[in-house]
A = this chain, B = another copy of it.
């Protein structure tokens, strides 16, 4: 695996690799490192579908708010590299912050540089409690797409709002890349894998299971015939209220493309939850079949 930390070096490496695979597609898996089996499932899928697989590791400051966990976000670079190498990644782009934002990065709307603005959708779901987050996500992913020019890019369904925003971006700006959404990977007990699970104490880890359990309850109620969002959410909230140590951010049924609430569940509806367990914000979701 070739590891490159400059934009120019990455462009050159891509040119060389493409020259060696003239008709081969390139699959990209963008990450913030601290890799887990969820990321590896994206790599595996990319590996199956593309002769050339690239990954990126970059903890993007532009998508963190001023009071968020940018400084303490887990960084496990050596271990990440070993995992990517074993998974068969050809090229890893791992830039410094100065390489990606030579003129500085700010998360405000008065940021002194060009950003990609998803519009009102950026203020839905996680965007409510994380203002500016999705501008930062859209901007860095646009940059990565321009630098690596993948044919396909792989993202986890766990970040459902991120996926909706990136799908909208690719569509609205005509970016020539196919976005591939991959299923959530869960631990043996049902907790969705997340780099942020590393923050959890053993007690918090146990408490965090209320997120998938709340989603399971709603799935069961839907299977039993309830379609109306209001009683479904009320049932979920009632379960959560028995766990006051978990502070709900949102529990909602939305259209998976617009992220706008729907009055009734129907095939494709996104059921999504976000909550704080201790100081750790976790998210989870499922798509109705």
* Chain A positions near chain B (C-beta within 8 angstroms): 7, 11, 103, 110-120, 138-139, 142-143, 146-147, 149, 168-169, 171-176
Contact = CB atoms under 8 A, between A and B. Distances in A.
A11 B176 CA distance: 9
User: Number of copies of this chain in the oligomer?
Assistant: 2
Contact of A174 (B7, B118, B120, B175): B7
A144 to B, nearest CB: 8
Contacts of A147: 174, 176
Chain B CB count within 10 A is highest, among A114, A117, A120, for: A114
Contact of A143 (B7, B113, B146, B173): B173
Contacts of A117: 114-117
8 contacts: A111-B119, A112-B119, A114-B173, A115-B116, A115-B172, A139-B173, A146-B175, A146-B176
Given A174-B143, A176-B146, A114 B7 contact: no
A200 to B, nearest CB: 34
The 6 closest A-B pairs by CB, nearest first: A114-B172, A146-B174, A117-B117, A113-B172, A114-B169, A143-B174
Nearest to A22: B22
Contacts of A176: 11, 146-147, 149
Contacts of A7: 174
A278 to B, nearest CB: 35
A272 to B, nearest CB: 21
B111 A114 contact: no
Contacts of A174: 7, 143, 146-147
A47 B65 CA distance: 47
B110 A120 contact: yes
Contacts of A142: 173
Contacts of A103: 172
Given A114-B169, A146-B173, 8 more contacts: A7-B174, A112-B120, A114-B117, A114-B119, A115-B116, A115-B117, A143-B172, A149-B176
A178 to B, nearest CB: 13
Nearest to A106: B119
A150 to B, nearest CB: 13
A120 B146 CA distance: 23
Given A142-B173, A146-B174, A114 B116 contact: yes
A147 B174 CA distance: 6
Chain B CB count within 10 A is highest, among A103, A111, A113, A149, for: A113
